[in-house]
Amino acid sequence: MKRIGIEINGVLRDTIGKFTQLYEKHMIEEKNDDSKTFELDMSGNTEELVSPEEFEYEILSEVTTLNLIEHFKFNDENELYEFMYEDFAMQIFGHAGSTETFTFNDLNEIYLKYREENELLIVSDEMGKSKPASLFFLSKFGCQLEKVKFYSNVTINSMWNEVDVLLTSNPQLILEKPKDKIVVKYNTNYNKNVSCEYEITSLKEFDETLKQILTC
């Protein structure tokens, strides 16, 4: 029996896509507009006052790493954390779309096919309010897997202890996997430069990859 972990972020959930959408709306459009001040002259005309040192939110580049502060402009790491895990946690982690149109159809089919001889579980790197939001996300899309394992940087070893095979898009997990574990990379823009023995571009391909792994 193999214990097969399937990660939420990047594999099942388009977290980055939802993050980008909310950043554009609430940081670029709303905050940049709110920060503008105007001067009223005696004739009633208004003139925008712009400070050369005024902070302006913007998307800095395409997301090619999971270090989001390199790609989205924030005042500091604390503001990024508050945006992601406090102010908009449910919107980002609960209401994001799936990575593919039929992600959860394919996931449930894989689960039903392999569950008798293997243990399949959901794993995810979550903090604070993102945990209940992620449970809502799984429920919303009808995930049939019975076990969910949340972990953090502090508890990452406990996640590895629960899986033999891990499907992930996270470059750090791919690079730092224990020698006795097998990792399958789900290809994304932010892991293009990370090589892996097993790679897939859609969840449906995971079925064939699992066949190869389980017969080795």
Q: Which domains does the chain have, with CATH numbers?
A: 3-14+96-215 (3.40.50.1000), 16-94 (no CATH)
| Average per-residue pLDDT for the chain | 92
pLDDT at 7 over 80: yes
Q: Residue 50: is its pLDDT beyond 60?
A: no
Q: Which residues contact 106 (CB under 8 A, 6 or more apart)?
A: 100, 202, 203, 204, 206, 207
pLDDT at res. 15: 98
pLDDT at 52: 44
User: Whole-model pTM?
Assistant: 0.89
CA 207, CA 186: separation in Å to the nearest integer?
Answer: 13
Question: How confident is residue 40, by pLDDT bands cut at 50, 70 and 90?
Answer: low
pLDDT at 43: 57
Residue 35 pLDDT > 80 = no
Q: How many Å apart are CA 87 and CA 201, to the nearest integer? A: 32
Q: pLDDT band for position 32 (50/70/90)? A: confident
Confidence of residue 55 (pLDDT cuts 50, 70, 90): confident
Res 45: pLDDT: 61
Which residue in 142, 199, 139 sits closest to 169, CA to CA? 199
With a cut of 60, say whether residue 37 has pLDDT above it: no
